[in-house]
Structure 1
Amino acid sequence: MTTHRISSALDDQARAILQGNDRGGYTIPTDGLYPYQWNWDSAFAAWGFSTFDLDRAWTELETLFSAQWDDGMVPHIIFHKQDPGYFPGPEVWGTNKTPATSGISQPPVAATMARLILQADPEAGRERIAALWPKIVAWHRWWRDYRCGTGVVAITHPWESGRDNCPDWDIGMAGVDGSNVGEYTRRDTGHVDPSMRPGKAEYDRYIAMVQFGRACGWDQREIVANGPFLMEDPGITFILTRANDDLAAMGRDLGHDVSEIEGWAADLRAAAPRLWNPETRGFDARDLKTGRFADRIASAAFLAYLAGVETPELAARMDGIWDAVRYGFPSADPAADSFEPRRYWRGPSWPVVNALLAIGLKDRGLDAAAERLRRETAELIEAHGFFEYFDPIDGTPCGGDAFTWTAAIWLTWAGADDPAKGAA
C-alpha cells in the first residue's frame, strides 16, 4: 500500500486548508456552510494536523472533549462563537450548556484517530492521551448506557449517525411528523446547490426531533423511550466496536485495567449478527419503532471490516456495489431506486469514509482493495480539489469546498507516502 508522494503542491494546499479553517484550538469543517466545531470532523482534523503539527492535533481533541456533558456525551456540534449564518443554532437546540452545544452525539471515531496520532510520537503524546483517556472512556460508556439497549448502537436522530439523509433512515423518518415545526430559514442551501442537500420535508422532520429533545430537557432516556425516531445503526456500531479496541490498546499502554472496555467490544461483536439482513445480504439499519429492517445496504455496512466482523457474503456484495461506480465507494447502493449520486449521503463517495473502509480492508489483509480505494480517492482530489464529497460515477465535486476532513484525508492517507495502516 506504500506509494510515492503524489503531489507536494496538494500537500501545501491541504495544510493551508487546515490552517485556514483553524479558529484557535478547534477547526471548522469549511467556512460558511459549517461555521462551528463538529465532532467527527474534528477528530479527522486532528489526524490531519498530526502530519505536520502534533501539538495542534492533540489540542483539537482536547477542545472537542472540553464540551463533554456530565453524563459523558460528546455533542455533535460545539457552538464556540455565535454565527447567525447557521441554522439550527444554539438557540434552537436549547441545551443550556457552556459552551453551547447540540443535544445529540456523532460517530465516536476519536479513540481511533487518537491512536493513529499517538503512533506518530508515542512518547510526546503520552501525557496528552493520559489526560484524554478517561474522557473517551466516559463517552464510550455513554454509548453503552444510552444507545445499546438491543446490543447494537441505536441513534435518536439521523444527524447522530453522521450520514444525515442516507436511505437507511427513510423508514424511520416516515414516522416523524414534521408538519408543526413552524417557519424557519435554512442556511445550508445558500452555500451549496440545493440539489446536493436534504430536501425540505426531511429538514422539517429533523427539526421536529430537535424540538422533542429540547422539550424534554434533553433527557436521553426519555428520547430513547418516547422520541420520534430510533433506529439501529450499523455504521456507529462498527465504528464504536473498533474504537473500543483502540481505547483498550491505549489504556493497556497506560497501565489501566481495560477489561470493561474489552467487554464492550466483545458484546458489540456478539450482537452484530442482529444487523444482518438476509434480504439485502448485508448489515442493515433497523427501525426500532416497527422492528423492520430498512432493506437498504450502504457504505456503513462495509465498516464491518473496520470492526473485524465481515462475512464472505458481504465481500461479494462489496465487489458488486463498488464495481458499479468509478470513484471510491458510494454511500448508497447504485442499484437502488433511492440512489442519487450527488445528494449528500444518498449516493456520493466520501473520502473520509473511504479512508475508514481502507483501514479496515488493510487490517483484514485485503491490501489490493485498500490500495484501489486510496488510488480512486486520490484521483478525485487531484482532479477536483478538496471538496466535501464527490459523484462516484463521473467524479463531479459536490458539497462544500476547502473542506477540512478531505484535506486531512489527503495528508494522512490518500496522498501519503506511507498510507495509514490502521491502529493495529
Structure 2
Amino acid sequence: MKPKENLYHNSLIEEAHSILRLNDRGGYTVPTERLYPYQWNWDSAICAMGWHHFDEARAWNEIRMLLKGQWANGMLPHIIFHQDSPDYFPNADVWNVPKKCFLDKVEHPQTSGISQPPVLATCVRKLQEAGKESAINSSELKQICMKILKWHRWFWSARDPENTGLVSILHPWESGMDNSPAWDKSLVRVPPTLNSSYKRQDTSLIDSSQRPLQKEYDRYLYLVEKLREKEYDSNKISQDFPFRVIDIGLNSILQRSNLDLLALMDQFGMISECHELKKRIELARDAFAELWDPKHEHFYNRDEISGELIRVSTSACFLPLFGQLANDDQVLRMVSTLEKWAEQQFLLVPSTSPFDTNYEPQRYWRGPIWPHVNWMISEGLKEYGHNELSKKIRMQTLELISKLGFHEYYHPLGESGFGGDSFSWTAAVYLILCKTG
C-alpha cells in the first residue's frame, strides 16, 4: 500500500471507530441516529465485532446489553427498547409485549415480539478467538453460551415444532430482509391493517424511494397486530396464521451459529449440549436438500402454507455458503451465478438478482448491496476454497465504503449509497474486512 493510500486507509479506520462511538448509547449501539434509535439484534452482534478491533471490553458490553432483552422462553427479540424515542414506528407501545414473557424478578427493557437472524454465536466465537483472556472470564462466557443455546432452542421448538430441521418466520422483519421480493407472493394473503391512523417515521427521514412501500407496511402492521393478539405465544398461533415461510437466510445463519456454538461449548466440555447441537446440525443439513432447485441451480425460500419453493433469487440464496450447507456441486453452481452477475458490470452481491423483474437498485432489500451480507457470503466462499471470488466481494465492499461513505446500503453499480448514513454495522464490517486476509 502506497503512503498516500495508507493514510487514507487509516483515516477510514478512524472514521469507522468514530461512527461506533457516535452511535454508542451507553453500552449498546444504535444502527444510526434517529432512523433506528434502539438496539437491533443482528446489528448489535456485528457491531460487537467492530468494537472488538479497538475496545474489547466495550464489545462484550454490547453482547451483555443485547442479552438483557431475552425472554423467559429463550427468544431474543429483534429490537430492544432501552429508551423512548419519537423517531421510530412501531415503538414498544405498539408491540405491547406482556410482562409474563419476561423472567420474573429480573429488570428488563421493553422489546419487540419477534426475533431476527441469530448471528450472535458466530460473533461471540470470533470475539473469543481473537480476544484476550482478561476481557471476559470463562464462567461468564459459558453463561452467554447457555443463553444463546436457549435462544436456538426457542427457534427449534417454537418455529419448528415438528422437528423437520428448518425453522419458519412469521413476519418479514424476522428475516432481516424486510421487503425482499421473496415475500411478495406470501404477503398477498395477508390483509392490510385497519389502523389507517398510524404514521411511519422512516419516510420522513429517508426518501420513500429507498424504503418499503406503504402497502407492504400495512401488511407488516397487520401481522404485528395478530401476533400481539395471541400474546406472541407460539402455542396460540395457529397453523392458519397468514404468513409462514422457511427463510433460507435465517436458517443458514442459524446453522452457522449452531456450528460456532458447538465449538464454544466443546471448549467447556459440555457433552450433553454438544450432543444436542450435533443432532440439530445434522437434521438441518439433511433438510436443506429440500430447498435446492436443480433446474434453476439455486437454493430458495419456501412458503409453508402453499408448500411451494419461492423462486426469487436474492442474496439470501447464497447464505448456505456461510452456513456450510451446500455440497461441492451446489457451491460451483452458486459461484457460477455470482460470476454471471459480475459479468454484467454489477458489483456483488445485490440483494435481489439484477435479472429479476422485481429488481429495484435503490429500494432497501429489492436490489441494493448490504455490506454485512457481503461479509457472510465472502466468508462462506473462503471456507469452501473459492478464495478469488471471496476476495473480490471483500474488496468491492471496501471500495464501495471508501468511495461513497458509511451508508446503510449501496447501488449495485456503485453509483451512490442509500438509507441511513454514519451506519454502525457498515463501520463494523469495514473494520472486519480490513482485517480479513
TM-score category, normalised to shorter length: over 0.9
Deviating more after overlay: 135-144 vs 390-399? 390-399
Partners of 1:27 and 1:78 in 2: CA distance: 11
Q: How does 1:46-125 map to 2 (within 5 A)?
A: 46-97=48-99, 98-121=108-131, 123-124=133-134, 125=136
How many pairs does the alignment contain?
Answer: 414
CA shift for structure 1 position 325? 4.3
CA shift for structure 1 position 191? 1.1
Structure 2 residue aligned with 1:264, among 264, 280, 291?
Answer: 280
Partners of 2:238 and 2:401 in 1: CA distance: 40
Partners of 1:406 and 1:59 in 2: CA distance: 19
CA shift for structure 1 position 130? 1.8
Q: How does 1:342-421 map to 2 (within 5 A)?
A: 342-413=362-433, 416=434, 418-419=435-436
Partners of 1:253 and 1:179 in 2: CA distance: 49
Query: Residue 324 in 1 paired to residue 336 in 2?
Result: no
Is the CA contact (8 Å cut-off) linking 2:400 and 2:414 kept in structure 1? Answer: no
Structure 2 residue aligned with 1:220, among 209, 231, 234?
Answer: 234
Q: Secondary structure at the match of 1:353?
A: helix
Counterpart residue identity of residue 416, structure 2: T
Is the CA contact (8 Å cut-off) linking 1:146 and 1:220 kept in structure 2? Answer: yes
Counterpart residue identity of residue 324, structure 2: G
1:220-276: per-residue Cα shift (whole Å, max 9, x none)? Answer: 233362322101111011111110000000001122111111111111111001111
Identical amino acids, percent of aligned pairs:
41
Partner of 1:37: 39
1:91-120: per-residue Cα shift (whole Å, max 9, x none)? Answer: 110103541110000000000011111111
Partner of 1:294: 310
Partners of 2:137 and 2:415 in 1: CA distance: 41
CA shift for structure 1 position 328? 2.5
Partner of 2:218: 204
Q: Secondary structure at the match of 1:78?
A: strand
1:3-53: per-residue Cα shift (whole Å, max 9, x none)? Answer: x96701001110000011010111100001000000000000100000011
Is the CA contact (8 Å cut-off) linking 2:313 and 2:356 kept in structure 1? Answer: no
Structure 2 residue aligned with 1:129, among 119, 141, 163?
Answer: 141
Partners of 1:187 and 1:153 in 2: CA distance: 31
Deviating more after overlay: 140-149 vs 71-80? 140-149
Query: Residue 303 in 1 paired to residue 305 in 2?
Result: no
Q: What do you get for the CA RMSD once the two structures are aligned?
A: 1.5
Partners of 1:398 and 1:318 in 2: CA distance: 23
Is the CA contact (8 Å cut-off) linking 2:341 and 2:348 kept in structure 1? Answer: no
Counterpart residue identity of residue 144, structure 2: L
Partner of 2:105: none
CA separation of 1:181/1:285 partners in 2, compared to 1, >3 Å: closer, same or farther? Answer: farther
Which runs of no fewer than 5 residues in structure 1 stay unpaired?
none
CA shift for structure 1 position 315? 2.7
Is the CA contact (8 Å cut-off) linking 1:29 and 1:403 kept in structure 2? Answer: yes
Is the CA contact (8 Å cut-off) linking 1:327 and 1:395 kept in structure 2? Answer: no
1:108-152: per-residue Cα shift (whole Å, max 9, x none)? Answer: 000001111111125234434222010000011111111234431
Which runs of no fewer than 5 residues in structure 2 stay unpaired?
100-107
Counterpart residue identity of residue 254, structure 2: L
Counterpart residue identity of residue 44, structure 1: I
Q: TM-score, normalised by structure 2?
A: 0.92
Q: Secondary structure at the match of 2:84?
A: coil
Structure 1 residue aligned with 2:184, among 162, 170, 174?
Answer: 170
Q: TM-score, normalised by structure 1?
A: 0.94
Partners of 1:224 and 1:288 in 2: CA distance: 13
CA shift for structure 1 position 329? 0.5
Is the CA contact (8 Å cut-off) linking 2:165 and 2:280 kept in structure 1? Answer: no
Partners of 1:381 and 1:350 in 2: CA distance: 11
CA shift for structure 1 position 292? 2.0
Q: Secondary structure at the match of 2:309?
A: coil
Q: Secondary structure at the match of 2:239?
A: helix
CA separation of 1:279/1:195 partners in 2, compared to 1, >3 Å: closer, same or farther? Answer: farther
